[in-house]
Structure 1
């Protein structure tokens, strides 16, 4: 039941996402232990959503995560790997973690909007390695995300190098009617599962 409520909350959060605009980019990161480098057997998971507005220069994040073995110690975006969807890279965003990311928990939700024009969004070492300016760092990060070379990583007490991670991949936003069907489907599955247990 707890997992059903979590999935329903995630689906409802996705329904509230605004419609796509020409200057808006959508990314999704499906996070797990087997997706880490090196892979691990954590049962933890999450499906994070990112909205980049390349006119307003903002990035909005919706990062739910569940069932970690260790308690959270840090979370950030790494970029850019040598190859798409594989390998490792340095931390591109604020270190040691995003501001106010839930710490010391095994399940949580992080929602925040950042300015991509603000130097504090980036790891200073990432700015230095990418031209020395915020504009150059932003261009490198957006290029890396567009090329599937950036990933979201959650570090924990049990896995200091990262317990779950997922590469950010382009995620087209379906029509609102599709989200409505998703919510109904998750609700039906939850009721069916509940009846089976009773």
Structure 2
């Protein structure tokens, strides 16, 4: 439903999928919001200024990223802070903020402050020359206006089903305040040239009308607005993606849009190494162009003191490879080799690898908002009983966010 227009803070919008799909106890990312005005000050004041803030709290790294905008101050801004204090109570400064009507940044908070922060016990305060103690204030509270959905596309879901071997996947964020959806979709293996692509309304096994048009191309992303009257059907799983081709003009692959999906997300199967461990991918930070530049990929449970590389592509796979599984379809990008380190000999599973997937690296590879990446680690394992001398991790998928 549309009740107000909010500015975009895509890192909060997309990264909160991790928290939305995890249990309350294990959620690592929390998306929060604050609406600022004079009435929340202590005491309240008659300022007509307003502001909006989005705050992404990454509990794994004790890092908070923020985007704050405001307008209409009665006098120049002279200070801005995050404070600790419940609604209606003034509290001490926790974090200083830069001056300016548009602020974007991040900070590291103390572990002891986390429960208060995500529990709604912090607020943002914008101070001006007319209101030295604060002209507008907004309590930082959890956001509940976001829904996260995904779709897996294939020929078996078409009506009627077909034998196409093409596959696709899509990730969506639904903003129920702005009546908008952001999508990122990739597919591969159509039997003929794509001639059309849409989002349709229709239950599983039922063909339905077009709701939104999409561009052609095997990798597409964008933000679209939907009618408020369609929201319940969309959120209830009543819409689907359909990719039409010359051989299947009614649709070659289709995927029902259902709740779920994380970004990043692990997939595929790692190869058990010579010490009985399975190398496993992980990450810290988030692949966000407008947020903190901290996204780092890692592999643990690897043989110590062995060289390895990270490689990536844009299409997933599951092909037999050197006694394990190649989880990415070529062509592949290979990063320079690195050593796993860990304990001194003899061999054990203390080795690790990591790669900082920085904003600069993304730009150098032509990766922008909506780009999808599938990555995996390869490493040496000279004692492996299969004779290949090679180890493989499972793989990580992620969509790069604005």
- The TM tier, using the shorter chain, reads 0.5 to 0.7
Counterpart in the other structure of 1:46: 51
Does the residue aligned with 2:107 lie in a helix, a strand or coil?
strand
Hey, what's the Cα distance between the residues in 1 that align with 2:12 and 2:44?
A: 33
Structure showing greater relative contact order (alpha-carbon pairs closer than 8 Å, 6 or more residues apart): 1
* RMSD of equivalent CA atoms: 2.4
Report the structure, 1 or 2, having the larger strand content: 2
Hey, what's the Cα distance between the residues in 2 that align with 1:87 and 1:64?
A: 23
Counterpart in the other structure of 1:178: 175
Hey, what's the Cα distance between the residues in 2 that align with 1:139 and 1:13?
A: 24
Counterpart in the other structure of 1:101: 99
Does the Cα contact within 8 Å between 1:57 and 1:115 map onto a contact in 2?
yes
Counterpart in the other structure of 1:149: 121
Hey, what's the Cα distance between the residues in 2 that align with 1:54 and 1:147?
A: 13
Report the structure, 1 or 2, having the larger helix content: 1
Structure 1: gaps of 5 or more residues: 1-6, 103-107, 117-137, 186-198
Cα offset, 1:92, TM superposition = 1.4
Does the residue aligned with 1:87 lie in a helix, a strand or coil?
coil
Q: Structure 1 length normalisation: TM-score?
A: 0.64
Does the Cα contact within 8 Å between 1:26 and 1:173 map onto a contact in 2?
no
- Does residue 57 (structure 1) correspond to residue 59 (structure 2)? The answer is no
Q: What are the superposed Cα offsets for residues 109-133 of structure 1, whole Å, 9 maximum, x if unpaired?
A: 10112233xxxxxxxxxxxxxxxxx
Cα offset, 1:158, TM superposition = 0.9
Counterpart in the other structure of 2:93: 91
- Greater shift in the superposed pair: 34-43 or 22-31: 22-31
Which structure has the greater CA radius of gyration?
2
Does the Cα contact within 8 Å between 2:12 and 2:54 map onto a contact in 1?
no
- Does residue 160 (structure 1) correspond to residue 132 (structure 2)? The answer is yes
Cα offset, 1:62, TM superposition = 0.6
Structure 1 segments of 4+ aligned residues over 6 angstroms from their partners:
none
Structure 2 vs 1, CA of residues 111 and 15 (structure 1 numbering), >3 Å: closer, same or farther?
closer
Does the residue aligned with 2:13 lie in a helix, a strand or coil?
coil
Counterpart in the other structure of 1:25: 30
Does the Cα contact within 8 Å between 2:31 and 2:55 map onto a contact in 1?
yes
Does the Cα contact within 8 Å between 1:33 and 1:41 map onto a contact in 2?
yes
Hey, what's the Cα distance between the residues in 2 that align with 1:12 and 1:50?
A: 12
Counterpart in the other structure of 1:115: 108
Does the residue aligned with 2:46 lie in a helix, a strand or coil?
coil
Does the residue aligned with 1:92 lie in a helix, a strand or coil?
strand
